[in-house]
Chains A and B, each alone.
Chain A
């Protein structure tokens, strides 16, 4: 490896191995054997060939903000970094595309294109830290997903190294392309298990000219959920429709100190962008709906600074919740939008039933909630109850027509639940795909597919 990338790009010290043994998921940690920082795709090819011959696991890692243990090297091997592959390669203003290396920080891309009056919508809460390569491999969402979709909706093509060391090009700067199977979309969200992406071409939009942000408060979680369903049923699609419960608002306010209301049960952060006229009209309609549903207060952000403070507060929610207890376990259950109020009720019921502390926030408009369990890994009895509660949340979500993960991925954490969502047929097909592309199972092994599936919980509401 040192011969391939130079000794300065190979780390094997104890301190380095510990520093790359985790991502942002509680309870999953395993040291790699070596950490390698290649400088180009050719070096990656050479590394992959060595690993392929010797059956050594490779875990590609962006900034390690993963929330489903997707980047923990749970079988040791190589952690592959993209810190040298962090360049913006080309902005094509005629085709409205940008081509980047995987190690570029998401925020950097967003700022770069916005300076040219262009727009890259996917904005995961970790965008200041996460890399585009990480976002593509995880198919990350964000606060603007409701109107603009998620990462997969913007990936036009990739260059990737396959597990045998060959280089694959998919897609291109094309608005249309039906040449065979859609390999681009197969790789997006594949969590580093199918190939190592080394270059990405992204679609850009024109930057919206006008934006408005409001904060609405409700006396109950259900009312906030009702407001979400009603806004969408009135055929309005806001850019952002975010939800935080009281416990979340309190910790976020403790950190940010921007004057969020800590006495109401739930808040919705709503944004719309577009032409000034449409935005004003739709925001007025949204405010009316919220009032009718029973919002106790509606505040409009005075300027972009205040709006950004509100967005930042929402992005800080997960980490701020970590103030409450030593261990923070985040879930990503997602249901059809219309079921959001019902799902919130289910989460509260489950939290009471198992006596575990759960605070909830999330992308209400997407039906994508983040019920977050605040607990202590050292307390075995409590952890048992937490596990039961999480099982039941997954089950409730599936029963409502939802999924076990909306945007964080399966990783190692949700692998035991995958079959609940996709069934045996689904899992078998996925395994066949994996086997065909990575026969030695060297690319991010132990992710997505579990050794065994969890026993389904039988929910007895009676």
Chain B
């Protein structure tokens, strides 16, 4: 039977690649439960971190076969990693999930739906940034007739969920990048930084990237933006396509380490986390191990860099003395992997003319989670709708985010909640750039 053979291959794969010691680190205390969005939503241990760890262990030891229920349990994880900062025992859940998914993806033919989404995403859009860029030109043409025509062109209509057309309606109008980094007068230079522009950020949110470079330059950074950069690999890595992630990582390491910079800056939480773990990704590659460590140590997100640039020493105030209520939705990976959550809040709290209101469960995933909202749209929307009730409670006019996936999802959430007239979602950099005056 084919299934039995697959189960054996997956058990072997788990034995070789899913680290037993890391599995045993979990003492099953359950401290992860309230932090896990899928557990909170389902109240089902099968969708909790300790449940998934016990399932991985049981498959590894042959106590249960790899079957649909196992697959469902591992698939439905958002990979937000909120369980990691909640875990006193220090279980490396992200790494366990990544290796388990890698084995499954390798040994099993993905479902048609997954295959369609991943194929489009990984082979077309995210493989090379230049491909993504070249697509942008065409996307702008498509936008006039709607996202649907791209979907048609890529023959996805049969399998993609309704959510895609919903997402389409909240996508910003895609523009080409307008601004490139200027060479700086060295006398007022604070740091030399290299900007990692990201795939979604450089296309769908290209304006945010322009603003990010402008802002860093205004605060006295010399910015370089290496040409030919690859997608960070996060979407590949989190979906069990580790080999392609490694290729992308090596390309970026070669390219960025050539520039002698103080920091490698990103403005997308999801990318930042993966970039900061290149050292883990390439730990078994003798040629790249040390280079990856050097690269990962230089990774910084834009909010942390702004803090290092003493943004608070300048007065931040709203343009035209407008008054806003703000709230912030954490990017899971920025918070849970890079442990950055105070910096963006500190910036928002320091704005004159704006009141910052902390949202209940701001640290819980919005349900975007890479391509999760496309593959597991039902769970994603449940999580989003719960999130929106907390957003609404803050009575904020502006929801700030630090990651393109979260930004799109929050825009979608605002639309689903019928709050388009009262509220908007913005990337923190766009908020600073478009809504604030900085007195330097």
A residues adjacent to B (C-beta < 8 A):
11, 13-24, 26, 63-65, 81, 83, 86, 105, 126, 128-129, 252, 254-255, 316-320, 322-323, 326-328
Contacts and interface: CB of A to CB of B under 8 A. Distances in A.
Contacts of A322: 25-27, 29, 88-89
B33 A15 contact: no
B226 interface: no
A18 B29 contact: no
Contact of B30 (A14, A65, A81): A65
A314 to B, nearest CB: 11
A319 B89 contact: yes
12 contacts: A17-B64, A20-B45, A23-B28, A64-B30, A81-B43, A83-B43, A316-B88, A317-B88, A322-B26, A322-B89, A326-B24, A326-B25
B70 A63 contact: no
Interface string B313-351: 000000000000000000000000000000000000000
Contact of B72 (A15, A18, A126, A254): A15
Given A19-B44, A319-B31, A322-B27, 12 more contacts: A13-B69, A14-B64, A15-B73, A18-B54, A19-B45, A24-B29, A64-B28, A65-B30, A126-B29, A319-B27, A322-B89, A327-B24
Contacts of A64: 28, 30, 45
Nearest to A12: B69
B67 interface: yes
B28 A19 contact: no
A327 B44 CA distance: 25
B438 to A, nearest CB: 31
A323 B48 contact: no
A96 B25 CA distance: 43
A397 to B, nearest CB: 23
B69 A319 contact: no
A294 B44 CA distance: 50
B87 A19 contact: no
Most buried by A among B29, B30, B31, B51: B29
A129 B24 contact: no
A129 B32 CA distance: 9
Interface in B88-110: 88-90
Contacts, number: 105
A361 B26 CA distance: 20
B21 interface: yes
Nearest to A21: B54
Contacts of A23: 28
B163 interface: no
B171 interface: no
B55 interface: yes
Nearest to B47: A19
- Closest 4 A/B residue pairs (Cβ): A13-B69, A319-B88, A15-B69, A322-B89
A199 B240 CA distance: 45
A318 B65 CA distance: 32
Interface in B38-90: 43-46, 48, 51, 54-55, 58, 63-65, 67-70, 72-73, 87-90
A26 B69 CA distance: 25
Contact of A19 (B27, B55, B88): B55
Contacts of B29: 24, 65, 126, 318-319, 322
B55 A15 contact: yes
Most buried by B among A15, A20, A26: A15
A47 B396 CA distance: 47
A26 B30 CA distance: 13
A128 B421 CA distance: 37
A363 to B, nearest CB: 18
Contact of B46 (A19, A26, A129, A326): A19
Nearest to B46: A19
Contacts of B73: 15, 19
Contact of A18 (B43, B64, B89): B64
Contact of A63 (B33, B64, B72): B33
A21 B67 CA distance: 18
B54 A63 contact: no
A15 B27 contact: no
B353 interface: no
Contacts of B220: none
A233 B48 CA distance: 46
B27 A328 contact: yes
Contacts of A15: 46, 51, 55, 64, 67, 69-70, 72-73
Contact of A22 (B54, B69, B70): B54
Contacts of A26: 27
B101 to A, nearest CB: 15
B239 to A, nearest CB: 20
A322 B87 CA distance: 10
A63 B44 CA distance: 10
B30 A63 contact: yes
B34 to A, nearest CB: 5
Most buried by A among B26, B68, B89: B89
Contacts of A13: 46, 67-69
Contacts of A129: 30-31, 33-34
A22 B45 CA distance: 10
A383 to B, nearest CB: 14
Contacts of A18: 51, 54-55, 58, 63-64
Nearest to B22: A326
B34 A22 contact: no
Contacts of A11: 44, 46
